[in-house]
Structure 1
């Protein structure tokens, strides 16, 4: 039996539905899902619009993401819980929650999809996406129980003074936390984040600092690097510009001593970038490399250096449910700062029917430390 809150759910809800990536979406009325076992119903308050949404759902989908049609996009969001299933043991209607982008198979949590964005490469991932095709660009959404994380509003809002809209940055922070945690980053260690000036890579700098590490931030955007250097007291964040020359990059990194962890979150075009080989060679004996980037092809690796020095290379796709909960604890304890006090800002808030302005604003104003939202149920 579902929570009694199900009785107060409307018969239908409104979603921003796309029938193709080359035609405008429409606001449609959809049947409200039932909170069956393992499924929560939420009311999205602040639904993230990723900076490159215009390259996925409009303009012919130049990124080539695969998703079923028709579809209501929207992955992660800050929401109120509207109804819970009978097997929910801690979530309750009315609670504030962070809903993840990632959906994991309950039979095999290693099978994951990016909800309403990319159905993945296999029959298993396509089947998984089928049940979660409609996302948070809507007035209601169903979500896997394990992907819904309660936020302690009394602490976060009452004691720490955050605004609800500031919690949207969790969607950027939780991804690199997965890779850094998998690499077993420890307090006092030195971690190279390269590149470090994108949405998720700059978030990795914030997370690594909260985990107690010293950070070497590497990138091409000198203005963004300077902003990262100012995140902490002198010596906690060092910056290196990617030169395009491997030896020059390695010499620059060597000035900071042996590196314990190299966190790489390189974008698609970076397969031949000088920073990758330099980062690996800068690792100490026994060092670890975390691969979380989006390079679709192969990269060259210094084979002998890796084997001789016992370098561990760990790949991570997104994060686990428990890692999301652990990250939220860092915020609730005041260890990881978010929002304006961490230099993060809300760059735009839009109603669903203003979809074109919203997607254009995300492309123009989104990016590192900046969130653009749909507000289907703004409080």
Structure 2
């Protein structure tokens, strides 16, 4: 235990450990890992609970996510650094940081997993998830994280000058994902981007991000109340809304009122493969337009082949974001370009200790969604 003593770490920590998605988790006492090269130990402050967490870790895992058991979930969080590895050059204990959900293979960055959520489908991703360092997440009093996925937050600016509360910084978990897709298709200031659907946790975050990048947004969805709130995020004309009708031509006609689209950003949920908005979005792109695919549809979608070919449309798939994109997004918040928290209409609808896991997951399912976040606070406030 000499190394733990050297780093001022306790011998054990507490994690919300699941042994089966069909049985309750345990508040497990686990041995504290030693920060070996490339591995940071963090103390999670606000660990986000995605709206559909109850469909991954309880109720028999109806989403069918693949993960090893036993497991402590929790992909991303705002945290304090508890201990740094020998190869850290600037990171120090006590730093306020954002910890990403994504873990990338160091010998092959194309190998990516959603830490403590989904091990992927290849031998490489499964091997990465099985590694002792990355198996468990941040629904715990301590957690490991890859050095390159731990991003320092300028506390003097964010808290001191801009006046954000630490809990408001948790929204970075939702904002960083669509940022990766929008950057990958080269969204530029002044362009018009369709975000469809736009009324989920990550898709509504895409509206905030696109506005900060200088774009005009067409937000499309079925939840008219959520669409109305999105329209209030910017000056008149910066955000327009369209309700998904279920009829492709009707959706195309509705979108045509706003002129040709430069970019179509799609982050559709699992059951949306036959929704009218996908084909309508592609048909509404201008010649040379771009489409970003970031959604979770496990099956196939219908592509208007001739339209894509004739108009020279680019379709770009993106899974999560790069480490540099995460750093770039944080800079836009620190510079005041991307507003977050209550001043951006974002709301925290629940904060829970690990022992209140059942109520926490239930609240996330019921009160999560567009502009809303629910957190575990493993170390209290």
Which TM-score bucket, shorter chain as reference? Answer: over 0.9
**Cα deviation 1:52-108 (Å, max 9, x = unaligned):** 111111111111111100001111001000111121122111010000111111111
Q: What SS does the corresponding residue of 1:103 show, helix, strand or coil?
A: strand
How far did residue 122 of structure 1 move?
A: 1.0
Which residue does 2:306 correspond to in 1?
304
Give the Cα separation in 2 of the matches to 1:5 and 1:146: 25
How far did residue 7 of structure 1 move?
A: 2.6
Q: Is the 8 A contact 1:272 1:299 kept in 2?
A: yes
Q: 1:255 to 1:81 in 2, by over 3 A?
A: same
What is the TM-score normalised by the length of structure 1?
0.98
What is the TM-score normalised by the length of structure 2?
0.97
Q: Is the 8 A contact 2:4 2:10 kept in 1?
A: no
Which residue does 2:72 correspond to in 1?
72
Q: Is the 8 A contact 1:54 1:360 kept in 2?
A: yes
Q: Is the 8 A contact 2:3 2:34 kept in 1?
A: no
1:215-254 alignment runs, 5 A limit: 215-254=217-256
Counterpart check, 1:108 vs 2:77: no
Counterpart check, 1:196 vs 2:198: yes
How far did residue 3 of structure 1 move?
A: 9.9
Q: What SS does the corresponding residue of 1:373 show, helix, strand or coil?
A: strand
Which residue does 2:325 correspond to in 1?
323
Counterpart check, 1:27 vs 2:27: yes
Q: 1:145 to 1:14 in 2, by over 3 A?
A: same
Q: What SS does the corresponding residue of 2:245 show, helix, strand or coil?
A: coil
1:1-379 alignment runs, 5 A limit: 6-131=6-131, 132-379=134-381
How far did residue 5 of structure 1 move?
A: 8.4
**Cα deviation 1:111-166 (Å, max 9, x = unaligned):** 11111111111111000001211110111001000110000000000000000000
- Structure 2 unaligned runs (5+)? none
**Cα deviation 1:302-321 (Å, max 9, x = unaligned):** 11111111100000000000
Give the Cα separation in 1 of the matches to 2:295 and 2:249: 22
Q: What SS does the corresponding residue of 1:116 show, helix, strand or coil?
A: coil
Give the Cα separation in 2 of the matches to 1:317 and 1:355: 29
Give the Cα separation in 2 of the matches to 1:228 and 1:52: 22
Q: Is the 8 A contact 1:4 1:83 kept in 2?
A: no
Q: Is the 8 A contact 1:3 1:85 kept in 2?
A: no
- Structure 1 unaligned runs (5+)? none
Q: Is the 8 A contact 2:4 2:34 kept in 1?
A: no
How far did residue 251 of structure 1 move?
A: 0.7
How far did residue 206 of structure 1 move?
A: 0.3
Give the Cα separation in 2 of the matches to 1:60 and 1:6: 42
Give the Cα separation in 2 of the matches to 1:76 and 1:370: 16
Q: Is the 8 A contact 1:196 1:218 kept in 2?
A: yes
Give the Cα separation in 2 of the matches to 1:176 and 1:5: 40
How far did residue 370 of structure 1 move?
A: 1.0
Give the Cα separation in 2 of the matches to 1:378 and 1:155: 24
Q: What SS does the corresponding residue of 1:8 show, helix, strand or coil?
A: coil
Q: Is the 8 A contact 1:286 1:311 kept in 2?
A: yes
Give the Cα separation in 1 of the matches to 2:5 and 2:148: 19
Q: Is the 8 A contact 2:39 2:84 kept in 1?
A: yes
- Ranges of 4+ aligned residues in structure 1 off by more than 6 Å: 2-5
Give the Cα separation in 2 of the matches to 1:254 and 1:145: 46
How far did residue 110 of structure 1 move?
A: 1.2
Q: 1:32 to 1:289 in 2, by over 3 A?
A: same
Q: Is the 8 A contact 2:195 2:220 kept in 1?
A: yes
Q: Is the 8 A contact 1:265 1:294 kept in 2?
A: yes
Q: Is the 8 A contact 1:5 1:84 kept in 2?
A: no
